[in-house]
Amino acid sequence: MTLFIKTNSNALTVLETTPLPDLLTVRQTSEILGVGRVSVCKQISAGKLIAVRKGRIYHIPKSTVIDFLRSREESHK
């Protein structure tokens, strides 16, 4: 799974995607965001990423990751 993103001052453009599941693992989320798994876990603990915990595994809704990317882009303007 790879998500290629090109950002510019006006928009967030998705260049190529593979179908993403509705719930992503921490590993999948870290690959999409371009950060380490520990960073994703810290974002979850800080409440910046919403996650559902099933046993020992966190599942992050796809919509949450998309919203996080958008807010990150907004903060860089």
Q: Which pLDDT tens digit goes with each residue over 21-76?
A: 899 999 999 988 889 999 999 999 999 999 999 999 999 999 999 888 888 877 76
Q: How far apart are CA 8 and CA 43, in angstroms?
A: 24
Q: Is the predicted pLDDT of residue 11 greater than 90, yes or no?
A: no
For residue 49, give the CATH number of its domain: 1.10.1660
Residue 28 in any domain: the answer is: yes
Range of the structural domain that residue 36 is part of:
20-75
How many Cβ atoms from other residues are within 10 Å of residue 65's Cβ? 20
- How many whole angstroms separate alpha carbon 49 and alpha carbon 60? 7
Query: How many distinct structural domains can be found in the chain?
Result: 1
Q: How many angstroms separate the Cα of 72 from the Cα of each of 33, 49, 57, 75?
A: 10, 12, 25, 5
Is residue 9 one of the residues assigned to a domain?
no
Confidence band, pLDDT 50/70/90 cuts, at residue 2: very low
Task: Let me know if residue 61 belongs to a domain.
Answer: yes
